[in-house]
Structure 1
């Protein structure tokens, strides 16, 4: 049984799966006779699974989180063994006889290999992190602002101040160099960045400053300047020249936004504090979640937060997880981001549809959205279908957010009573209001992907409630309700 007295449903387990392949693999493992020593008790489930190569993998799930641990080499989180174990438990099949070395089988006490991990995890969760309340950052794992962010404050504040000052100088030098590159591009003309220049770069011909190879070189310079945010935007410029018709206007728009970001950083001391925080984040300066929670100026809000979507992705060698939430009382949107790698699993997992009574600490910014997860005041429970707005209100919400943060690609919104409409010849799909007065194009990134057909299948031509991101590319759907939430595959 769970710590709340209820077994999970299969749908709740499937909602945790990182992709469709993991769902299928977990279902196959749940039905296979490969498990031994499984048991459940004290808010946890555990078991041993025999792999196809004869290896045996110890899997344990802490249901209060949930959080997962498995000895298999998979980089997916949760892995297929954790999903298979949860599916067996959801079906009442935990409790197979133990083999030698497995430890206790069903119920009561977990085996030593599972008990050690559970004890360490719960000890971390019970210890208030840098001034946060008991319960820690969600599932007890360290939570940083991004790749490479430190998990603890440095021991020597003066040394940390000097390091920070040196990094600001490096980024300022990088931004100054980037300004010169943008000026050279405008003097030489956008044609220098077009497909012909990119082809010349690929064949080793002269690249006067605009080809794809040149953008990669500039991005590497920004990495050297410790400005990963600038490097990412430079790489986007290199991709625009081969992105289809009307690329010059899009390239000019992105160059203007990059110039605005450069100038914002070079004059950051003159900006209002919220906008300065946004600029620092956009260039790639990270903040530790513990610092956000402990800062007396941080806006921390307790509410019952409805989980709207959980989306996993990749940033280089790291796995990223984005969890979108909306406050039941405040109506505020929130985004929790976490990063994992080969030796740092993603521990915070919140499937769509859960209602979480918790404190969320907002990172500073001109349009605060990202949060650090603080104290949880009650176990998560199933939540209702969210209320939503129409197309016009969604566009207005993105416009208001863009006014505060001009580098914002999209803003999270819930659309109610919208119907997916197939595009005509050469046209993209749209979401139309029930009255047919307004329509919003779907983001081209979802065209041809399973998410589009999942959305169409759930709708069946009828209006549905959809959560996603509304931006300049269109609407990117992430979750649809039927009436239970269905996560749309990336």
Structure 2
């Protein structure tokens, strides 16, 4: 529905799902049976009432034409966003078989839409007032009048002292970690199996006390590497070396180039702001996926500037068990501004002003060969030695088996990239194989030292992007 009445595809709808269980449940609701009072409008709204298994029926409304991204409401008690009812309704609408006719929204749907418009207008007004106030404070500060400004900005000396105290704590933590790593290697990796995970967790806790969450996270990863399968001592030694390099980078940060020093600060865990200039472009939404741990759900969204040719990463977070709010449908294009964060490569960005809702686009990202992808990763490691992977679009590749695993070979068959072992166990592999059918396709994914992880693919001829998550 977006612009000019164009409906989304099922893949674009399912890309909004917070997890695999939601996708599966939505598929069961993508039929007319559970629904009544369904309809859609040219304005970009879909609504319906779903027969609930418990406390239903549930009134569901989805606005897919909101410039801030797809939004929805539902009467169900689910904590997932979007819920299975919203996804199922969108799948029913995306099928285009007449099950969701066009019409005027009922009163209950119109009330929600009106409320959203009023909230958006109020937020815009508040933002304008806040921006004006910030400008006035800046002008007052420039004139030597600090009245009315934030105490933190009014006292730069205090802010500098806070930063210095935290840097001192991190330095103490990094120095302690260096000693712990030296003791570990002096005793030999064979003893690691005897120490158990408690040693790693206690070391990570010490890094948290030192206000270095990035170091704590890497220590926990070391604990999960120990005794994790064949050749684990090799992998553990490699990760210990990278952690030692990060420690030394922090301890000698004043002697590093500016971008590399910014990368070290970010890797250690210091917060950063998107200080790069705002760049407006038609950003193709390449991929979206979540990673979950006991504390946090992290959503990664890859974008490609159709005019600038830049690839950018958006990060969004949600508390454990809850999906992040940022949701962008794969395969559509977003007219928006992005500002980059500091650090090597400047891939990570912050999403700024959006000028229109996501809309279909025929443009695809430019592709490279497998050998060029590896060279790109090698160059990126110079700016960020701790980089796990880089975003790459492979042009004209075919998925082919390689013993017990798979790889992506170029059309000539001369070069290939192995797929990461984790991807080989996903349903996305068979979607990719089916899409190709032995014919070269275009694939976007992440290329790193573990191999290539496909995220999205396009068919050889005309066709929509297919999410492989």
TM-score bucket (shorter structure): 0.7 to 0.9
- Distance, in Å, in 2 between the alignment partners of 1:468 and 1:125 is 36
Distance in 1 of aligned mates of 2:393 and 2:130: 34
Measured in 2, the distance between the counterparts of 1:437 and 1:410 equals 23
Equivalent in the alignment of 2:87: 83
Report whether the alignment pairs 1:26 with 2:30.
no
Is 1:485–2:461 an aligned residue pair?
no
Which sits farther off after the overlay, 344-353 or 246-255?
344-353
Task: Indicate conservation of the 8 Å contact 1:174/1:222, yes or no.
Answer: yes
Residue 324 of structure 2: SS of its match in structure 1? Answer: coil
Corresponding residue SS for 1:186? helix
| Residues 459 and 89 of structure 1: CA distance in aligned 2, closer, same or farther (over 3 Å) | closer
- Cα distance, 1:299 vs structure 2: 3.5
Task: Report the CA distance between 1:93 and its aligned residue.
Answer: 4.4
Match of residue 458, structure 1, among 421, 430, 435: 435
Match of 1:221 in 2: 206
When the two structures are superposed, what TM-score results if normalisation uses the length of structure 2?
0.84
- CA distance, structure 2, for counterparts of residue 222 and residue 310 of structure 1: 31
TM-score by length of 1: 0.80
**Which residue number in structure 1 is paired with residue 182 of structure 2?**
183
Which residue of 220, 226, 230 corresponds with 1:235? 220
Give the direction of change, closer, same or farther, for the CA distance of 1:361–1:430 in structure 2 (3 Å limit).
Answer: same
Instruction: Tell me how far apart the structure 1 counterparts of residues 318 and 232 of structure 2 sit (CA, whole Å).
Output: 35
Match of 2:313 among 335, 338, 344: 335
Find out whether 1:389 has 2:389 as its counterpart: no
CA distance in 2, matches of 1:253, 1:456: 33
Deviations 1:18-71 (A, max 9, x none): 445433422332425444555545443344434201234443323221123334
Q: CA shift at 1:343, angstroms?
A: 10
Q: Describe the shift of the 1:366–1:9 C-alpha distance in structure 2 as closer, same or farther (beyond 3 A).
A: closer
State the Cα deviation string for residues 393-439 of structure 1 (Å, max 9, x = none). 10011011111100001001000111112122xx4211111111111
Secondary structure of 2:270's counterpart equals coil
The worse-fitting range, judged by mean Cα deviation, of 444-453 and 407-416 is 444-453
Q: Deviations over 1:154-198 (max 9, x none)?
A: 7533465554443333222221211110111122222222x3x2x
Q: Which residue of 2 aligns with 1:55?
A: 56
8 A contact 1:22–1:80 mirrored in 2:
yes
Deviations 1:224-273 (A, max 9, x none): 22222111111221222223333333222211111111122223333333
Distance 2:170 2:59 in 1: 46
Mapped to 1, the partners of 2:293 and 2:81 lie a distance apart of 15
Q: Please name the residue that 1:448 is paired with.
A: 425
The more displaced of 259-268 and 63-72 is: 63-72
Match of 2:351 among 358, 373, 378: 373
Does the Cα contact within 8 Å between 1:39 and 1:110 map onto a contact in 2? Answer: no
Tell whether the 8 Å contact from 2:397 to 2:408 is kept in structure 1 after alignment: yes
Q: Give deviations 1:335-372, integer Å, cap 9, x for gaps.
A: 11111237976332222211223221111112211110
- C-alpha distance in structure 1 between counterparts of 2:329 and 2:91, whole Å: 15
Q: Give distance in 2, aligned partners of 1:250 and 1:125.
A: 51
Q: For 1:191 and 1:255, how far apart are their aligned partners in 2?
A: 14
Q: In the alignment, which residue of structure 2 is the partner of 1:416?
A: 395
Which residue is 1:308 aligned to? Answer: 286
Task: Please tell me whether the aligned partners of residues 318 and 324 of structure 2 are also in contact (alpha carbons under 8 angstroms).
Answer: yes
Shift of residue 114, structure 1, vs aligned partner: 5.1
Displacement of 1:300:
2.9
Mapped partners of 1:445, 1:38: distance in 2: 40
Q: CA deviation at 1:382?
A: 1.7
Kept in 1, the 8 Å contact 2:368–2:393? The answer is yes
The answer for the alignment partner of 2:78 in structure 1 is: 74
Aligned with 2:29: secondary structure? helix
Change (3 A) 1:246 1:31: closer
Structure 1 residue 472 corresponds to structure 2 residue 456: no
SS at match of 2:109: coil
Query: What is the deviation of 1:311?
Result: 1.0
C-alpha change, 1:457 and 1:342, in structure 2 (3 Å) is: same
Measured after TM superposition, the shift of residue 471 of structure 1 is: 0.3
